[in-house]
Amino acid sequence: MAIYLTGSEQATIEFAKKYAATLSGGDVVLLEGGLGAGKTTFCKGIAQGLGIKDEILSPTYAYMNDYDGKLYHYDCYRLKNGAEAEKLGLTDYFQGTGVCVIEWSENIADVLPENCKKVTIRKISPSNREIICE
């Protein structure tokens, strides 16, 4: 486990870019943290680190955005349980070759694979975040 502090959105993106270098295909990363903590911001950095040029938009209304099969960005805020995710085919990518990054994964805890990586982001002031990687 390691704890990092960032003082701006850009600093979180830069940190997440470096974090992306530790990932390989098939990894599932759970992004924890409350509303506005910086989960989507962190995912933007992961995407940049993976060499994805598309803009990362919050997938709230789509549940999951697929970036060339390299990155699957989930927002499970509006899912009730794992069965719902399965029905929508959202769990099919967990065993794939891309990296899955999941916001609000606690809503689908019952269908998450074992050995997920976890990143917890905590808002400590308007511009400061504590980021815990485990």
Instruction: List residues near Mg ion by CB under 5 A.
Output: 39-40, 58, 103
Q: Which of 50, 39, 46 is nearest to 102 (CA)?
A: 39
Could you say which residues in the range 94-133 bind ligand ATP, by CB under 6 A? 103, 127-129
For 54, residues 6+ apart whose C-beta sits below 8 A from its C-beta are 47, 67, 68
Tell me if 45 contacts ligand ATP by CB under 6 A.
no
For 87, residues 6+ apart whose C-beta sits below 8 A from its C-beta are none
Tokens encoding 133: 């990687």
* Residue in 16, 19, 28, 38 binding ligand ATP, rule: CB under 6 A: 38
Tell me if 33 contacts ligand ATP by CB under 6 A.
yes
- For ligand ATP, what does the binding mask look like between residues 62 and 101, x meaning CB under 6 A? ----------------------------------------
Rounded to an integer, what distance in angstroms lies between the CA atom of residue 126 and that of residue 128? 6
* Residue in 19, 30, 39, 85 binding ligand ATP, rule: CB under 6 A: 39
Rounded to an integer, what distance in angstroms lies between the CA atom of residue 16 and that of residue 21? 9
Tokens encoding 132: 């815990």
Tell me the site size for ligand ATP, rule CB under 6 A.
19
Interface residue list for ligand ATP (CB under 6 A): 6-9, 11-12, 33, 35-41, 58, 103, 127-129
